[in-house]
Chains A and B, each alone.
Chain A
Amino acid sequence: MTGTDALPAYNFAYLDEQTKRMIRRAILKAIAIPGYQVPFASREMPMPYGWGTGGVQVTASVLGPDDVLKVIDQGADDTTNAVSIRAFFAKVADVATTTKTTEATIIQTRHRIPETPLEAGQILVYQVPIPEPLRFLEPRETETRVMHGLEEYGLMHVKLYEDIAQHGHIATTYAYPVKVEDRYVMDPSPVPKFDNPKMHCSPALQLFGAGREKRIYALPPFTDVVSLDFEDHPFAIQRFEAHCALCDARNVYLDEVVTDDRGGRMFVCSDTDHCETRRTEGHRGTGLPQTEGGETASTSREAAE
């Protein structure tokens, strides 16, 4: 094998059309049964398992030439893996990319849901490591599928109850289980429970891809998504006392940035687009230099388009 004639050429968005059809069928089935994990013949992708192969396959299958793609990891557009996946689609599909939540038609995410509410017509694609919410209670797929079939979710409630008995709180802070349309218990992917309420009745289509585990599931627009809880221990999201040090946002999810080795901390928006938008609107946090119109180094980013 020598020369370039034998070197591979790739289809639009990498996957061949037959594979896309197979994945779209799985997506349609997932939309028809919200919260149900549809097995699909996950392909080996040119990035490692755990880096978002499920999300990438879902995105590749729903992506069209006119779409505008946004990719975030930990809420940020410029984390290494988000940069890498965005560059992948820019290369293999030549689609427009953006960092603006409002401009995107497809948003692939790992671990966060954007702060800006999504709109009808947008698709949010989640990267999912372990799609089975019952997996850490029962390691066997053969068992958990039966449990879902019989709607046998007592074990999950026992687990949450044991948390309360031991710690006084439900000790699950991310990948907090939800019940979909009062039927399937679903793993919301490892988003902080702060983001769970955003899944409920979202006008956007939410698709979940787990490549290594070969599962796709979905929340069609305006689906009921309820975080599991008890009457006397109602579900509550994280509350931050701090405001964002850059844009002064409150009631958003914040990253804690260690600023020195003497306990210095500052809190900044996890959602970089949200933070940037607010700063262009004139909001200023306490962490910015208090100079007139001073753009700090931290706000200069490469344009991704």
Chain B
Amino acid sequence: MYVAVKGGEAAINNAHRLMADRRRGDRNVPGLTIEQIAGQLALAVDRVMAEGSLYDPDLAAMAVRQARGDLIEAIFLLRAYRTTLPRFNNSTPIDTATMRIERRVSATYKDIPGGQLLGPTFDYTHRLIDPAMTEDGPVEPGHRRPVESDACAPRVTDILNGEGLIEPDVFSNAEPSDLTREPTEYPVDRDLRLQALARGDEGFLLALGYSTQRGYGRTHPFVGEIRIGMVDVEIDMPELGFAVTVGSVRVTECQMVSQFKGSAGVKPRFTRGYGLVFGHSERKAMAMSLVDRALRADEFDEQRLAPAQDEEFVLEHCDNVQSTGFVEHLKLPHYVDFQAELDLLRQLHEDTTTATIDDDQAPLSEAAQ
């Protein structure tokens, strides 16, 4: 009896071994390759990179495979590796105006300089499960645009800004905050909020963004522009006196144009919500931009009433590695504390039988920690 409630090293090893077996599945079926995952489950890999906040498609694909397709588990693997990496430099801000665009749409204009470009999107597919998906049939290559040397696709927000109709971008060379290197102290600045949102759980941000649309912190949003493509990452080299490109990353950027604001000295202007996510992830970038705008309530003297406007609430709960850890730790043994609760409950029962108190309220049981 006593042994049954204790775990041991052998049990853990056996559990790991069984898990490895289940991960591999039927040995008669070829194992997934990293190339297959990175190439054919690219959106899963993108999500893992975005929320793992580490841009490395191969490593993310390895994590997806190791995690048996559990993306939060894969994100966790990537994070636990990322945390050990030295920080040797900050890149200069990436310039999304020079993005090599794969997709770019604006909901606020019928047409825009540089054009609307649908790119690879599910938007207009009919969600009918395709019988062809049972096998690996031939797939036609996509049409490609001829490579334009100086493709000009100015950001929609820059177009609006030219007329003074939207709040301008705030240019800053200040070193950005990093919540993975500094403890968070509230209230925080927007740079740190954006970092938290960029790493935040897609589902959580989606629900929060949705809640703003349904009246919990409404911001009257329009998609000014969504663009997806590769941008160069540059690092300033003080020895050289100029910036050097160290690589390029695929990002999704969403500029949400929201409710205008003015004040005594300032003409009314549209405000912005901003979303920027590694990889191809429109849903996340859009949700992020909605929540970013909602969190700026104080800047615009809006009352903070809705969950999406509550900085501490959003930032403390948007991280899925933290959330899943604390929720799932409830399955760890808690029998010592439970024993203490049992003890109290029995004592209270004794009290009521001896003292005939007609109070049948159950005692407040505190959540397991």
A interface with B by C-beta (< 8 Å): 1-2, 8, 10, 14, 16, 39-46, 48-51, 53, 73-76, 78-81, 83-84, 87, 110-112, 129-130, 136, 140-142, 163, 166-169, 171-175, 190-194, 212, 214-215, 238, 246, 253-257, 259, 266, 268, 270, 287, 297-298, 301-302
Q: Are A163 and B364 neighbours in the complex by a CB distance under 8 Å?
A: yes
Report the Cα distance A301→B3, complex, angstroms.
10
Q: Are A212 and B336 neighbours in the complex by a CB distance under 8 Å?
A: no
**Assuming A8-B81, A49-B321, A167-B348, is B6 touching A78 (CB within 8 A)?**
yes
**Assuming A111-B336, A172-B366, A192-B339, is B12 touching A44 (CB within 8 A)?**
no
Q: Are B183 and A254 neighbours in the complex by a CB distance under 8 Å?
A: no
Interface of B is mostly: helix
Q: Are B366 and A256 neighbours in the complex by a CB distance under 8 Å?
A: no
Distance to closest chain A CB from B11 (angstroms): 7
Distance to closest chain B CB from A219 (angstroms): 19
* Chain B interface category by residue count: 35 or more
**Stretch binding the partner chain, chosen from B88-96, B152-160, B230-238, B326-334:** B326-334
Q: Are B8 and A214 neighbours in the complex by a CB distance under 8 Å?
A: no
B interface with A by C-beta (< 8 Å): 1-3, 5-12, 56, 58-59, 62, 76, 79-84, 86, 180-187, 312, 316, 321-322, 324-330, 332-337, 339-344, 347-348, 351, 355, 357, 359, 361, 363-364, 366, 368-369
- CB-CB < 8 A to A78: which residues of B? 6-8
Q: Are B322 and A49 neighbours in the complex by a CB distance under 8 Å?
A: yes
Q: Are A79 and B333 neighbours in the complex by a CB distance under 8 Å?
A: yes
Distance to closest chain A CB from B71 (angstroms): 15
Looking at the complex, which one of A2, A44, A142, A174 makes contact with B337 (CB distance below 8 Å)? A174
Q: Which residue of B lies closest to A275 (CB)?
A: B2
Looking at the complex, which one of A40, A53, A255 makes contact with B339 (CB distance below 8 Å)? A255
Q: Are A168 and B351 neighbours in the complex by a CB distance under 8 Å?
A: yes
Q: Which residue of B lies closest to A191 (CB)?
A: B336
**Assuming A78-B7, A298-B2, is B342 touching A256 (CB within 8 A)?**
yes
Q: Are B84 and A253 neighbours in the complex by a CB distance under 8 Å?
A: no
> Could you give 12 example pairs across A and B, Cβ below 8 Å?
A8-B81, A73-B333, A79-B6, A79-B7, A83-B8, A141-B186, A168-B355, A194-B340, A238-B340, A255-B336, A287-B2, A298-B2
